[in-house]
Amino acid sequence: MNGRIERFHLSLKREAFENVVPINLSHKIKICRSYLYYNNKSRPHQGINGEIPSKIKQGKPENRMPFRKIKHLSGKIPSFGSVIAVAA
């Protein structure tokens, strides 16, 4: 379990804090929460065959419809989401 935590911390450091300098503790918490939301709702994970964790937990079928670009952390991390899934 420690390896998974360490890997998450590495991803958080590289993807969330590489281009952002937090002003204070509340700003740092906001960045961490935004990254956690992105990590669980939009980012495919290699360990679960490229699936998105929130879709597996909710049992939603994978959607291969048109996609649109979604920006996280003020545009620092782009991802792609289904037009239908985002509108629902």
Task: Quote the tokens at residue 19.
Answer: 């281009």
Residue 81 contacts residue 68 (beta carbons within 8 Å): yes
Closest to 77 measured CA to CA, from 48, 40, 42: 42
C-alpha–C-alpha distance, residues 50 and 36, integer Å? 17
Look at the pTM and tell me if it is higher than 0.75.
Answer: no
Q: What is the pLDDT of residue 41?
A: 81
Of residues 55 and 35, more confidence is placed in: 35
Q: Amino acid letter at 70? A: I
Q: What is the pLDDT of residue 24?
A: 92
Q: What is the pLDDT of residue 85?
A: 47
Tell me: the pLDDT tens digits for 36-62?
A: 888 878 788 777 777 777 777 555 555
Q: What is the pLDDT of residue 75?
A: 75
Longest CA–CA separation in the chain, Å? 41
Task: Quote the tokens at residue 86.
Answer: 């985002």
